[in-house]
Structure 1
Amino acid sequence: MLAATALSVFTSGGAFAADDSANEALLKKLDKMERRIEALEAELKEKDSHPQAGVDAKPSSRSASTRSVTATASPADAKEPTDARQETKGSKGNLAAQSAEAPAKPMLNLPPLPAAGDKPILGLVDSPVPGLSIGAYGEIKFGSAQNPAANGQWQKGFDAQRFVLLPTYAITPNIIFNAEIEFEHAGSGFDNDDKLHGTAEIEQLWIDFKIIDQFNWRAPGIDLVPIGYYNQHHEPTQFYSVNRPELYLGLIPSTWKVPASSVYGTITEDLKYQVMVATSNEDFGDSFDNRTAAKTVPLPGTPYAAGIDGLNALAFSRPPLGDFQQLNNAVAIAGRLDFTPTFLPGFAGSVSGYFSPNTTPRGAHDDLGNFLGHSSLAMFDAEFRYRVPQTGLELRGEYVRADFSHPENLRANNDSDPTNNVGKSMYGYSGEIDYHVQLGTILNNEWEAVPFYRYTYQNLQTGGFAGTDANLPTGAGQRQYHTAGFALFPSPKVVLKATYQHVIDKSIAGAMSDSFLGGVGFFF
């Protein structure tokens, strides 16, 4: 069409009288130019539909999953309440809502790069089955840390801490299967020649029934308690330190997975909710082999480890997930509200709670053979994340508290060891400041560095000790953490980390738990 129009202009005006051969040569040139323009247009369309790896083609959304599923209804929608995979894709580690994303720059002279995020099988290939998606995340840690058991001696170490597979399958557009299969500490082998000492376990396993936006049902399965933020969003690209934030290393026993069922939905554009019923946590932290056939703790006269104590908080109190081995009939309830106010771009936060009417396991007793009564557990958490628009500044903060109705019935207060006693409550808080620095294009991708500092305070041994143990708090449960370092994102799906941490407590010897660690994490 362009060639015909141009030829008409040239011939009808008589301004360029030429013979037939000249017109034919001009026609060929114009036709060649038209084909070149069409080729460039096609290339631009190809660029738009296949963005560079690590760069989104669309604005990010809090309900978008980082895993693509080839189904009519995306399983990402089913993960709304608990799955960290719903978090902003391409955010380069920023957990707060983003105000805008930079568009991908067209590169007309280069072939399109593969868009890993568009591939549902490990970010690499298309799914052979419609509706099937398999993602993965993992982290490797190394460095040097003080060992309190060796009088604070610095010791080097390495840990292939975890590798997690994330299968999702849209059985129908409204029935979604999800699971997480985790391998920790390099595997589950125990042979001397294997040099392994890890675990293989199911971290999540459930089926969602999508009904309406306001109300959906998650069938009974293994799920994450909706309290705090990082318990549900604990992939290594979601936080900047090598280890998870300190509040989630016991006070919130991340990864806090339980047998559970829940309902969830969207109340307004700014507000989402989840309500869960679950098997209660148990005040039993000993080996599985120490449970009796009657599903009780060891018989009186046999000591056993506490599940709740003033040194490890709730870290060992999570309920068992298999073989009807629960030591408690109590049912706990948990709930969470997530808010992303449209009037405050870049801000996101949540409030959540948990209540168990009784954490005392069957047959619980003190070291003298006296049976222990019930003790309830109530928890509250509030947290926020704020990425200041049009700047690199990001702020985070959190407060969490656990209260016990009858601490005199907790095993830690009745085990003839006063160093791990538990008071009426435990609490902790943290504040963090981060700054996102754009490093430009390296290896065909945009890199970002995030230096950070986080202060955390925890008190796991408050007043109100009671039981058979002496009420002599040691101060070891009252700790301050100064954590600083940086996270380097070559891609939103990969992070390199370095962290230094200084720990202070009120014990006689001191914490002796400082560390300098490096880490590599991925999530795709």
Structure 2
Amino acid sequence: MGYGSACAASDDTNEVLLKKLEKMEQRIETLEAELKQKQAPAAEKQTSATDKGTKSAAPSASPKSANAAVPADQPQDSQSKQDSQSKQDSQSKQDPKAKPTSKSKPLDSSKLPPLDAATPAPDKPILGLAPSPVAGLSIGAYGEIKFGVQQNPAANGAWQNGFDAARFVLLPTYAITDNIIFNAEIEFEHAGSGFDADDKLHGTAEIEQIWIDFKIMDQFNWRSPGVDLVPIGYINQHHEPTQFYSVNRPELYNGLIPSTWFAGASSVYGTIADGLTYQVQVSSSIEDFGGDFGLRTAANTVPPFPAGYMAGIDGLNALGFSRPVRGGFAQLNDTLAYAGRLDFSPAFLPGFASSVSGYFSPDITPRGAYADTGALLGRNSVGIFDVEARYRVPDTGLELRGEYVRVDFSHPENLRANNDTDPTNNVGKSMFGYSGEIAYHVPMGTILNSDWEAVPFYRYTYENLQTGGFAGTDANLPTGAGQRQFHTAGLAIFPSPKLVLKATYQRVIDKSITGALSDSFLGGVGFFF
């Protein structure tokens, strides 16, 4: 073979090698892109734990949906991962097993790759079923099913079976641009919307959150007017069923903090320092009105005397019926409320996260409010303070949680519950409650190609909804029914960080003559992805 032939053969060989190298480079680029997409949710989670409601490197702003766009795929240790998440700013709802920091914060667009038509969306598949057809669009979901037996106080404590398709929630998120992000939460409760006597259906459908985040900088971001969670406590902002171990939400969030507590609102949020974030919110105020919406007059006042109306705040249900209006202009007062929150997850204390939050409304008395004597009721302000902490002891399965909530009224003599001729629901100058919880995470090994974890837990809660300072037309005869103790114990099993199976026993004690008569054995299935 001549010199020319040898050269030609060499050139052919070089060309083949070059083509192979080009293919290898293309393959490497593809793999790198896929790796970045998989790492984006994890990075978001780490940034988002601190603020559930802040999808950016900002404070724990409340929303749950942002995280829906970027759910976590890998199992995490409950508290240790939560804490790392708390430093992240996505509205992601943390891994149930992640360290308890803040769970649902808005999606931090700064942590995602640029969005354009030529680049695959970094989002998770829609509902986990198929790739998103639109760059920037993601839909997550969470829900819970409950069943079991519980005592009915109205039936002298008789045990009764029950089943409740408690809720199914869709969490659409769309990155309009890298810095303008839409979030919403659409919730279906108790098996659907409407009433069907034949099928025993009596549920609701509502928009629990809807707002647009404008990501300006890590230190300052703006959440447009919309429906948003009030930034009080941890579970109110991170209330997906994978974030707590009992079948029902923790007791402090069933009245003292009326979870899920959301309102028409706008806020700013951001990062003050590493591990320290904030949120400041202005919202529609709660109202001391718990009656049917249809009972409000065309003048937006309570029903005229002597019809009577139900209290929104009382010594049995706390703030449970005092929700602000979200679906019209029928506010019963012209007051705005103000809330603020600080989230803290220090790098020097791995596994620890906490928050301090407050709420103030200058007046919660509805227009035309009156006592059953016909006397008009005056102004009454309310202030709420909450402090909570979560600690997952590093390199162990031990997890600790604690919380304290206090509600103060300026003029309890103007509360409807103190002027309705029913002294059993009187309200004092304040209400308060506290809880402590211990849990232990036990690895169960790999089952069905998934790493399972069992979490036995115990939680003690004390509430006093009828403290001293009663005043009004009703007799000062507190019954003790608002002074409650809850002993809650159970087991939560996580086949995946996105799925939990629960069993809970709860013993309820109060100081009324008959006692609470509302113990329960409940089971539940919850998911969040």
TM-score (norm 2): 0.82
Residues 146, 514 of structure 1: 8 Å contact kept: yes
State the Cα distance separating 1:259 from its structure 2 match. Answer: 0.6
Match of 1:242 among 230, 244, 247: 247
Residues 96, 385 of structure 1: 8 Å contact kept: no
Q: Is residue 2:466 matched to residue 1:426?
A: no
State the Cα distance separating 1:173 from its structure 2 match. Answer: 1.1
Aligned-partner Cα distance in 2 for 1:130–1:441: 34
State the Cα distance separating 1:82 from its structure 2 match. Answer: 1.1
State the Cα distance separating 1:194 from its structure 2 match. Answer: 3.3
Aligned-partner Cα distance in 1 for 2:395–2:83: 8
Q: Is residue 2:254 matched to residue 1:274?
A: no
Residues 83, 353 of structure 2: 8 Å contact kept: no
Give the match for residue 328 of structure 2: 323
State the Cα distance separating 1:83 from its structure 2 match. Answer: 2.7
Q: Is residue 2:475 matched to residue 1:470?
A: yes
Give the match for residue 298 of structure 2: 293
Give the match for residue 261 of structure 1: 266
Identify if the C-alpha distance between structure 1 residues 119 and 49 changes in structure 2 by more than 3 Å, giving closer, same or farther: same
Aligned-partner Cα distance in 2 for 1:211–1:252: 31
Aligned-partner Cα distance in 1 for 2:184–2:194: 23
Aligned-partner Cα distance in 2 for 1:336–1:438: 34
Aligned-partner Cα distance in 1 for 2:503–2:32: 35
Q: Is residue 2:405 matched to residue 1:400?
A: yes
Give the match for residue 83 of structure 1: 63
Aligned-partner Cα distance in 1 for 2:460–2:262: 27
Aligned-partner Cα distance in 1 for 2:127–2:381: 43
State the Cα distance separating 1:192 from its structure 2 match. Answer: 1.9
Gaps of 5+ in 1: 1-34, 66-73, 102-116
Match of 2:139 among 134, 148, 172: 134
Aligned-partner Cα distance in 1 for 2:204–2:509: 31
Residues 282-304 of structure 1 deviation map (CA, whole Å, 9 limit, x = unaligned): 00000011100000000010111
Match of 1:506 among 489, 503, 511: 511
Gaps of 5+ in 2: 1-19, 86-121
Match of 1:366 among 361, 364, 371: 371
**Secondary structure at 1:297 match in 2:** coil
**Secondary structure at 1:160 match in 2:** strand
Superposed, which structure 2 residues align to 1:112-261 within 5 Å? 119-261=124-266
Identify if the C-alpha distance between structure 1 residues 281 and 83 changes in structure 2 by more than 3 Å, giving closer, same or farther: same
Aligned-partner Cα distance in 2 for 1:146–1:498: 16
State the Cα distance separating 1:322 from its structure 2 match. Answer: 1.1
Aligned-partner Cα distance in 2 for 1:60–1:211: 17
Residues 64, 86 of structure 1: 8 Å contact kept: no
Aligned residues with identical type, % of pairs: 71
Give the match for residue 351 of structure 1: 356
What is the Cα-based RMSD across aligned positions, in Å?
Answer: 2.6
Residues 418, 472 of structure 2: 8 Å contact kept: yes
State the Cα distance separating 1:407 from its structure 2 match. Answer: 0.1
Residues 465, 471 of structure 1: 8 Å contact kept: yes
Paired positions, count: 460
Identify if the C-alpha distance between structure 1 residues 99 and 417 changes in structure 2 by more than 3 Å, giving closer, same or farther: closer
Identify if the C-alpha distance between structure 1 residues 454 and 430 changes in structure 2 by more than 3 Å, giving closer, same or farther: same
**Secondary structure at 2:401 match in 1:** strand
Residues 92, 448 of structure 1: 8 Å contact kept: no
State the Cα distance separating 1:320 from its structure 2 match. Answer: 1.1
Residues 232, 341 of structure 2: 8 Å contact kept: yes
Residues 58, 220 of structure 2: 8 Å contact kept: no
Aligned-partner Cα distance in 2 for 1:495–1:56: 24
**Secondary structure at 1:412 match in 2:** helix
Give the match for residue 338 of structure 1: 343
Identify if the C-alpha distance between structure 1 residues 138 and 292 changes in structure 2 by more than 3 Å, giving closer, same or farther: same
Identify if the C-alpha distance between structure 1 residues 48 and 480 changes in structure 2 by more than 3 Å, giving closer, same or farther: farther
Aligned-partner Cα distance in 2 for 1:365–1:333: 26
Residues 93, 238 of structure 1: 8 Å contact kept: no
Match of 1:63 among 47, 52, 75: 47
Aligned-partner Cα distance in 2 for 1:465–1:452: 37
Match of 2:443 among 432, 438, 441: 438
Identify if the C-alpha distance between structure 1 residues 375 and 98 changes in structure 2 by more than 3 Å, giving closer, same or farther: closer
Aligned-partner Cα distance in 2 for 1:266–1:148: 47
Give the match for residue 466 of structure 2: 461
State the Cα distance separating 1:120 from its structure 2 match. Answer: 3.2
Identify if the C-alpha distance between structure 1 residues 56 and 500 changes in structure 2 by more than 3 Å, giving closer, same or farther: farther
Aligned-partner Cα distance in 2 for 1:470–1:96: 51
Aligned-partner Cα distance in 2 for 1:488–1:328: 46
Give the match for residue 94 of structure 1: 78
TM-score (norm 1): 0.83
**Secondary structure at 2:194 match in 1:** coil
Residues 404, 435 of structure 2: 8 Å contact kept: yes
**Secondary structure at 1:244 match in 2:** coil
Amino acid at match of 2:286: N
Amino acid at match of 1:401: R
